[in-house]
Every structure is written in C-alpha cells, then in structure tokens.
C-alpha cells in the first residue's frame, strides 16, 4: 500500500505540473478528506447496528449452528483431517462468521483453525493442502450481506443500497466455486500425472457440471441477448427478491433464536455495538489517505490518461475502464479499494451501473494478500505453495462474475 499511495501522489504531482493543474490539487485533496470523514460518520450507524445484531446471533448459537451444518461439506473439502479434530470446528466457525459479514469474529476463529491445522502439519514451514483450501475459502468467501459497502452506498444517497446483495451473492458464490476447483486441481496436479488423471476420471460428473455452467454463461454473454431486458424476467426478479428479503429474514432468524435461547438482547446488542463504533473510527485515516490521493490523481488528469490506455482492453468484454483500478486494488488493500469505489460512486452516483458494479466487486472478493499474510504468518508458514495463485484466480472469477450479473441486472 505504501507503493500504491506513493505512486498515486507522485504521478498526480507530475501530471498536474505537465497539464497546468497544479494549483487545483490542494483544494481537491482537502475536499475529499472532508468527504471521507462524512462517509465514516454515515458508516458508524450501519456498523454499530450490524455488529450489535451479530453479537446477538453469536450468543443465540446461530453461528455455531451454521458451523454444524457446514461440517458434512467440510469432510469432502478437507479429507485429510481426522474426524472430531478441533480444526474442523474452528474452520466452520470462521466460514460461518464470514458468510454473515462478521469479519472481526471470523479472524480469531481463522487463526485458531490455522493453529489446529499446524498441529497436523509434518513440515511446519510448508502449507498443507488443507491450509490452502481453507485460505481459498477465506479469500473467496460467500457474502450474504456486504454490510460495509451497503453503508457507504447509504451515506452517498443511494435510493436502494441493498440492490447489490443478490449480485454479490451470485458473484461470491462463483468465486468460491472457482477457489475450490483451483485448489483441488492444483493439489492433485502435484501428485503426479497418473494420479491426477485418475482423480479427474473419478470426479468427472463435477467437472462436467462445472463446464456446462461455464458454457451457459459464455453463451448468454455472446448471444447478444439484451442483458437486463425482460427476456429473462424470472432470473432478474429472483435476484431482486434475494436482495430485498435477505436482511429482513436474517433479522427475523436472529431475534427468533435469541427469544428461544432467552438472550438478554439489549445488553448483548450494546456490547457488540460498541465494537462497531470503534471499527468505523479506525478506518478514518485509511479512507482519508486514499480518497485524497485518488482525488488528486483524477484532478491532475492522470485518471483520464489511464482510462484511455485501458479502454481498448476492457471494451471487448463490456468492463468499464473506470472500475479497473478498484478491481486491481482489491487483492491488496480493502481500505484502498473502498476509497477508490467511494470516489467512483461520488462521481457516477451509487445507483449507476459503475456504482453497482464496483460495489459488487468489493462485496464478492477479499484482500487476498492480507488474508494470506495474517493467517500463514500466525503459524509461521513460509512456503505458501499455490495459495496465492488459487486466491488470485478466485478473485478474477469473482470480478468477471460481477460484470456478468451486473450487466444482466442493472443495464
């Protein structure tokens, strides 16, 4: 992030000096710094409410119940882990927390899971297959409610902040499938050609289904169908229905479980809500730094030059060149990406196609390098093998899936 920020500032200054806009840079930076603080003030309420509700869900046992539901699936994803090993419980708790957008709770579960997996690791500096699969599921986690970007959209005046829930769910699901497929293929490829071929033949049904799904997506993309028109009303209405009902149903489920477990909901909510306030305040410096740099980058004219260079490469798939910097930044920095997307929504409005696409990209992908650094670093893993490749592949699939579904829904 140091290099990214330095690059934005330096290129902005050099470009502004060349274009004669140097006197406009301070004003644009100061204005955007104020905007960043206003955005965070709007986020405080959203994050406080959500983390308070998630604390109720945790006390009511919902996260652990979801973890138990995921256990049978985990046995297929992590065949090398013995039955009853605590690693499985910690991993399912981490994944369940990620699904619900409870990032602060997910991280301790994830680190504990890595510690348990390290106990089974014969080479303490080399990542195991189970560790890499776990990292893949973290960097491409299915997202039920992208609460942070919904909060930003709300603070910027969106008429339907939750419109991207359905598109985020679709694209994050695609990214998760891609992560699982990539890890499985790369894992078995390291076993040798004969064993890899044998494994492919044993699992041919899954790969056939995956290829048919990919073929269908490519067919819809290339047939020239008016994506977003009434030619696919059922699919479009289904995504819209998911977007509208996800949060109300989750609230009903949380409160119902709390009533059954006799949770003291008010006290528990307040306890969790305090954390939401602290999280919102902590991101102010990061958001100010990146928004000010981006504002200078755009004011200097450097953004226009970059868009002109990139446009020929993105025009062919219908990907707006303006969104590409956010897509490229996402694996490196969550706060940096949030700053870029916020600035995009400031310019193009949150409910525009660019606003919805960038919001979906933020919700469906993760900061891959950050996640790998934290979790592998927590247990001293130095040889990550193909974890980075699998994570970046999942990010790429999530971005392309975001483009597909957003063209389908918002154009």
Q: Per-residue pLDDT tens for 383-404?
A: 888 998 999 899 999 999 999 8
Q: Where are the domains of the chain?
A: 2-410
pLDDT band at 322 (very low <50, low <70, confident <90, very high): confident
E strand or H helix at 97, and its extent? Answer: helix 86-99
Angle at 85 between CA 82 and CA 89, to 5 degrees: 125
Determine the distance from the C-alpha atom of residue 188 to the mean position of all C-alpha atoms in its chain, rounded to a whole number.
27
Using DSSP's 3-state secondary structure scheme, residue 320 falls into coil
Q: Is the pLDDT at 187 greater than 50, yes or no? A: yes
Q: Is the pLDDT at 99 greater than 80, yes or no? A: no
* DSSP one-letter string for 46-114: HHHHHHHHHHHHHHTTHHHHHHHHHHHHHHHH-TTSPTT-HHHHHHHHHHHHHHTT-HHHHHHHHHHHH
> What is the dihedral sign for C-alpha 25, 30, 35, 36?
positive
pLDDT at 128: 93
CA distance 396 to 406: 15
Among residues 66, 88, 36, the alpha carbon closest in space to that of 281 is found at 36
Determine the distance from the C-alpha atom of residue 165 to the mean position of all C-alpha atoms in its chain, rounded to a whole number.
12
Q: Per-residue pLDDT tens for 214-253?
A: 777 666 655 544 444 444 455 556 656 665 676 688 788 8
CA distance 353 to 165: 15
Using DSSP's 3-state secondary structure scheme, residue 124 falls into coil
CA distance 301 to 283: 27
């Amino acid at each position: 992030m140091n290099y990214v920020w330095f690059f934005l500032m330096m290129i902005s200054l050099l470009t502004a000096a060349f274009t004669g806009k140097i006197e406009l840079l301070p004003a644009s930076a100061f204005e955007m710094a104020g905007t960043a603080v206003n955005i965070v003030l709007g986020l405080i309420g959203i994050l406080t409410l959500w983390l308070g509700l998630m604390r109720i869900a945790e006390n009511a046992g919902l996260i652990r119940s979801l973890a138990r539901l995921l256990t049978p699936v985990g046995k297929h994803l992590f065949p090398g882990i013995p039955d009853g090993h605590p690693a499985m419980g910690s991993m399912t708790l981490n994944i369940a927390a990620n699904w619900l957008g409870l990032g602060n709770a997910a991280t301790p579960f994830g680190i504990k899971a890595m510690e348990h997996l390290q106990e089974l690791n014969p080479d303490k500096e080399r990542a195991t297959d189970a560790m890499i699969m776990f990292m893949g599921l973290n960097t491409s986690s299915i997202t039920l409610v992208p609460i942070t970007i919904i909060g930003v959209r709300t603070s910027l005046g969106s008429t339907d902040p939750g419109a991207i829930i359905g598109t985020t769910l679709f694209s994050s699901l695609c990214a998760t499938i891609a992560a699982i497929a990539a890890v499985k293929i790369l894992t078995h490829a390291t076993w040798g050609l004969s064993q890899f071929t044998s494994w492919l033949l044993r699992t041919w049904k899954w790969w056939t289904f995956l290829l048919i799904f990919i073929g269908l997506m490519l067919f819809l993309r290339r047939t020239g169908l008016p994506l977003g028109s009434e030619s696919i009303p059922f699919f479009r209405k289904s995504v819209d229905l998911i977007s509208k009902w996800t949060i109300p149903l989750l609230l009903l489920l949380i409160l119902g479980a709390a009533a059954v477990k006799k949770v003291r909901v008010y006290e528990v909510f307040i306890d969790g809500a305090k954390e939401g306030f602290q999280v919102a305040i902590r991101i102010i410096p990061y958001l100010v730094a990146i928004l000010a740099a981006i504002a200078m980058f755009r004011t200097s004219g450097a953004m226009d030059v970059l868009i002109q260079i990139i446009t020929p490469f993105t025009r062919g798939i219908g990907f707006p060149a303006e969104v590409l910097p956010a897509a490229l930044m996402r694996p490196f920095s969550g706060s940096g990406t949030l700053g870029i997307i916020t600035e995009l929504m400031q310019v193009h409005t949150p409910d525009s196609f660019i606003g919805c696409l960038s919001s979906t990209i933020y919700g469906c992908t993760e900061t891959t390098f950050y996640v790998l650094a934290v979790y592998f670093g927590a247990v001293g893993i130095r040889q990550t093998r193909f974890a980075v490749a699998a994570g970046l592949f999942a990010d790429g699939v999530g971005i392309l899936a975001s483009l597909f579904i957003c063209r389908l829904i918002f154009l």
